[in-house]
């Protein structure tokens, strides 16, 4: 198996239309050092689009470097790291359910989840023991959507981050029929109205347009905390992170340190942030530089250079050394084992899981709760995207700022 480094998925939103078939287009190079590792590419308006970045393992001369073998200890932060960094102690979630909403099907979701949890000594979470459940957008076990290699990577990431952050939580995976917004909204309602679900994570989003407010009601489920990734393209508000009914989750670079916390964080340069053009200012936001809804509210690790370990084996080449070679060359899609991923696709399920750990979602209304409990957050005060003149909307500062919001979890008290 091959160790890869992937920037987790974000998506772009247009107006509504019918979904089309899953694309099988090969990965394309986006720069000299990264390769696209994406989901189905939309061919019609109304479909979301997601992206990933895969590091090319090449030497300075451009030759392929030797393969490395991925393992639970060589491919990014593990559960004990995340629980240490965010002071989550011995809390386990006590059977509360975190729902994950994604598009398309990951046929290996349960087996890959089992491998991840087994590697780190986490309790088993399977269909058989009632901990794990996978359904379509209507809440049924079948028929499931078509498979997609890029969305499978996203699904693996989401399931693994819930496992890492809230090892005692049950997990509901709701797979939308496509990446069309209307399908995802059906999946969202299914997730949030399923008995036992206390939080929902949405690791997708896209640019705002004048249709977004018409979809906001699908995120309005009192008693259920809904989180949404702020995006991975830097300055500029995205939706549904800009919806007032969600907790918008930004991103940080997380590093071990010799301070009393044992960790330090700075704003990740790719974290989405900004001022909504359409969503009204919630009563609980008081920043002065944005007349409407500001993104983000809180944050967690997202920088792929300080990424997390994820286990995913759904690919187009079947596994083994030849498959690993094809994946590295970009002629096959998917992953073949342990990968290291980043992006706000990481931070959203982490925060959804912290909400579950806190067990307080009956009091949560949109992204408001952390604003009155800032003492239980790590304030992130440095790091910038450098694209808005040093404004707090794209530069981390003491107190509230766009890329990291109010900060990162210091225990569960802010959730």
Rounded distance between C-alpha atoms, residue 107 and residue 113, angstroms? 11
Q: Which of 82-86, 151-155, 319-323 has the highest mean pLDDT?
A: 82-86
What's the sign of the alpha-carbon dihedral 292, 206, 101, 118? negative
Question: Which neighbouring-strand residues pair with 54?
Answer: 6, 35
Q: pLDDT for 235-289, tens place per residue? A: 999 999 999 999 999 999 999 999 999 999 999 998 999 999 999 999 999 999 9
Mean per-residue pLDDT of the chain: 85
Q: How far is CA 338 from the centre of its chain?
A: 17
* pLDDT at residue 38, as a whole number: 64
Instruction: For residue 203, give the nearest of 245, 234, 254, 158 by alpha carbon.
Output: 158
* pLDDT at residue 39, as a whole number: 62
Contact 342, 306 (CB under 8 A): yes
Tokens, residue 131: 């901990």
Q: pLDDT for 103-113, tens place per residue? A: 999 999 999 99
What backbone torsions phi and psi does residue 253 show, to the nearest 5 degrees?
Answer: -100, 125
Contact 133, 100 (CB under 8 A): no
CB atoms within 10 A of CB 182: 18
Q: What is the pTM of this model?
A: 0.90
Looking at the predicted structure, is the pLDDT value of residue 29 above 90? no
* pLDDT at residue 325, as a whole number: 84
Rounded distance between C-alpha atoms, residue 84 and residue 393, angstroms? 29
Looking at the predicted structure, is the pLDDT value of residue 309 above 80? yes
* pLDDT at residue 326, as a whole number: 85
Average pLDDT over residues 289-314: 93
Looking at the predicted structure, is the pLDDT value of residue 57 above 60? no
Q: pLDDT for 61-94, tens place per residue? A: 444 444 444 568 777 899 999 999 999 987 778 8
Q: pLDDT for 128-146, tens place per residue? A: 999 999 999 999 999 999 9
């Amino acid at each position: 198996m091959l160790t890869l480094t992937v920037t987790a998925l974000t998506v772009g939103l247009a107006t509504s239309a019918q979904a089309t078939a899953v694309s099988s287009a090969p990965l394309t190079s986006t720069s000299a050092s990264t390769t696209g590792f994406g989901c189905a590419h939309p061919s019609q308006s109304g479909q979301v689009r997601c992206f990933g970045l895969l590091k090319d393992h090449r030497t300075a001369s451009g030759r392929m470097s030797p393969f490395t073998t991925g393992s639970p200890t060589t491919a990014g932060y593990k559960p004990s790291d995340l629980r240490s960094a965010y002071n989550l102690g011995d809390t386990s979630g006590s059977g509360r359910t975190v729902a994950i909403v994604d598009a398309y099907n990951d046929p290996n979701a349960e087996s890959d989840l089992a491998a991840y949890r087994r590697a780190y000594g986490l309790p088993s979470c399977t269909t058989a023991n009632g901990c794990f459940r996978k359904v379509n957008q209507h809440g049924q076990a079948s028929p499931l959507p078509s498979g997609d290699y890029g969305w499978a990577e996203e699904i693996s990431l989401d399931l693994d981050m819930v496992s890492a952050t809230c090892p005692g939580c049950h997990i509901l995976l709701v797979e939308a029929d496509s990446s069309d917004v209307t399908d995802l909204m059906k999946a969202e309602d299914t997730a949030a109205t399923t008995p036992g679900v206390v939080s929902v994570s949405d690791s997708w989003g896209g640019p705002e347009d004048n249709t977004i407010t018409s979809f906001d009601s699908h995120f309005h489920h009192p008693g259920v905390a809904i989180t949404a990734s702020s995006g991975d393209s830097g300055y500029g508000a995205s939706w549904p992170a800009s919806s007032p009914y969600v907790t918008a989750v930004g991103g940080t670079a997380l590093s071990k340190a010799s301070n009393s916390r044992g960790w330090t964080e700075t704003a990740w340069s790719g974290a989405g942030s900004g001022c909504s053009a359409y969503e009204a200012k919630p009563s609980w936001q008081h920043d002065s530089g944005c007349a409407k809804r500001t993104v983000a509210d809180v944050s967690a690790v997202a920088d792929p250079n300080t990424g997390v370990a994820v286990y995913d084996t759904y690919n187009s080449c079947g596994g083994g050394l030849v498959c690993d070679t094809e994946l590295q060359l970009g002629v096959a899609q998917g992953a073949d084992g342990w990968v290291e991923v980043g992006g706000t696709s990481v931070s959203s399920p982490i925060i959804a899981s912290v909400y579950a750990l806190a067990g307080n979602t009956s009091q949560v209304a949109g992204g408001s709760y952390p604003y009155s409990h800032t003492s239980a957050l790590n304030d992130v005060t440095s790091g910038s995207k450098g694209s808005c003149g040093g404004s707090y909307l794209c530069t981390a500062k003491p107190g509230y700022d766009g890329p990291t919001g109010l900060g990162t979890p210091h225990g569960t008290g802010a959730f």
